[in-house]
Amino acid sequence: MNLRVDISKEVALTALREAAWPERHDPVYEPAVVIDGEQLYRDVTPPTQMIVHTFGGSFGADWNLEHAEEFISAASEVFWGFSVFGHHLHAISEGLDGRCIAFDVEAPLEVRAEWQRQAVKP
């Protein structure tokens, strides 16, 4: 069963950017307007950095998007790999450590469908 699909760094970076989310902060609101006697507020929460969750083998961590992009850009291998936790985007670092990081980025539907077909073969 082949659960690895090699992809280009460009495909990986695009998927990573689409999967990133804003770091959570407590929202900040200020009064905006009064309509029919009801005060309405607008969200003025300061912009936050974008993050993506990772799994490095024994623990998980949130990485800011910029660092994740740098890791993938410098990786020696980038691929979709099966993970029951949905961390399908894998990158192996260049150099001696050969560290593999799995990013919380879901593989495209056609890749996941192929994994499903392979898993149910008799």
pLDDT band at 121 (very low <50, low <70, confident <90, very high): low
pLDDT at 96 over 70: no
Give the per-residue pLDDT at 90: 96
CA 97/CA 103 separation, integer angstroms:
18
**72 close to 78: Cβ distance less than 8 angstroms:** yes
pLDDT tens for 33-77 read 999 999 999 988 877 889 999 998 778 899 999 999 999 999 999
Query: Which region holds residue 91: left if phi is over 0, alpha if psi is between -120 and 50, else beta?
Result: beta
Going from N- to C-terminal start, the domains of the chain cover 4-119
pLDDT at 103 over 90: yes
- When pLDDT is averaged across residues 118-122 and rounded to a whole number, the result is 73
Mean pLDDT of the chain: 90
Q: Please compute, for residue 104, the number of CA atoms within 13 A of its CA located in the half-sphere on the CB side.
A: 16
SS3 80: strand
Q: What number of helices (H) and strands (E) belong to the chain?
A: 3, 9
Give the per-residue pLDDT at 11: 97
pLDDT at 122 over 70: no
Taking each helix axis as running N to C, give the angle between helix 9-19 and helix 65-74, from 0 to 180 degrees, rounded to the nearest 10: 170
Q: Between these two residues, 119 and 76, which has the higher pLDDT value? A: 76
**64 close to 51: Cβ distance less than 8 angstroms:** yes
